[in-house]
Structures are given as C-alpha cells and as structure tokens.
Amino acid sequence: MARSLIPVLPPLRDRIRPGVRVLFVGINPGVRSALTGHHFAGFSNRFWTLLYESGLVPERIGYEDDVRLPEWGYGITNIVPRATPGIDTLQPHEYVTGRSKLRRKVLRYQPVVVALVGVTVFRALFPERKSGAVTLGVQTEKIGGSTLFVLPNTSGRNANFTYAEMLDAFRALELLTRPRRKDTEHTE
C-alpha cells in the first residue's frame, strides 16, 4: 500500500464567537494555512487585503490576525477541516461530513450572512443544484435564517475574477452587512 507524501497537518481552528454577524467559509485550508495555524495564509491569497480595501475591517490586517475577526463581528471556518495542497485530494465523504457540520455551526451561531469564499464552496455546499450558473452575491438558498453570499475565491490560483471584480464583491458584502444607524434626528 502506497503511503501519502503529504504529511497529516493539524486542523485549523475556527474563529467563531457568539454574536457573529458574518461567517466566512472556505473549502478547506491550504498547507501553508495549516502550518501557520491561520486562515487564508497562502502567499498569493488576497482575502485579507480585500477585507480592508472593501471597508469590512477598519485597518490592514494579515492572516496572523484571523483571531481578531470576532472583534468586528466576523467568524471563519471551512467545509472540510483537512489541509491539502489543492481540493483534488478531498474525498466525497469529507464534503458530506463537512456540509453537515457547517449547517450545525450556522444554526448554532446564527450569523446574519454566511459568506462563501468561492463559487466552488457554494457548489460543495449545494451539490444538488446542478443547473444554472452560480453568480456572486446573495443567493436564494439559506441555512436557517442566514443569508448566503458568494464571494470570489481569493486564492492567487484563481483566474476567474479580476482583482477589481473581487473588490466589487467584497464591497457589496460590506454594504449588505453594514450596521444600520438608528435615526436619532427628528425632522418636523
């Protein structure tokens, strides 16, 4: 029996607290993320830059700051916890188990929005939806009362969207999730 050349890496810890407004979901961690212990740690991943440039976070942060996401009402997790160099080695049973665990997390924490980082994440979560293109933005599907929002995959390997298109999608998420100010002025 041939042994895998890929070492078993420690699972990446979720960064979720009660009161989460937006839960970001990836497919699974990459090897560098598992080695550093932080989400979206790939050298060419643009997730952290997009968070800042879209206005979702008020300061520049990097992957080592993923533990701070709950400060702004955000959480982060993956469908499959196992780290791999790419998704081609993930097994069908891992998606089935991961979908079930993710649904339980969403129902437990009840985020306003579940932001799926990549069209592939949406397809992994809803394999029964076979027809029609998946577009960025709000989806008709929900998990519990949580709205689903598809973002582009932020990996540098993703050539499906330009940086400008990615930034537009992150800005749309920021607009959707921006806390609404209560009208404190009275007009007569």
Q: What is the pLDDT of residue 7?
A: 65
Q: Which two tokens stand for residue 183?
A: 């009208």
Is pLDDT larger for residue 155 or for residue 4?
155
Per-residue pLDDT of 2-32, as tens digits, reads 455 556 777 889 999 999 999 999 999 988 8
Per-residue pLDDT of 36-70, as tens digits, reads 999 999 888 999 999 999 999 999 999 999 999 99
Per-residue pLDDT of 96-116, as tens digits, reads 999 999 999 999 999 999 999
> Helix, strand or coil for residue 128?
coil
Of 26, 20, 22, nearest to 138 by C-alpha is 22
Per-residue pLDDT of 74-88, as tens digits, reads 999 999 988 888 888
Is pLDDT larger for residue 172 or for residue 157?
172
Residue with tokens 């550093």: 36
- Give the fold, CATH level 3, of 22-172: Uracil-DNA Glycosylase, subunit E (3.40.470)
Whether the pTM exceeds 0.85: the reply is yes
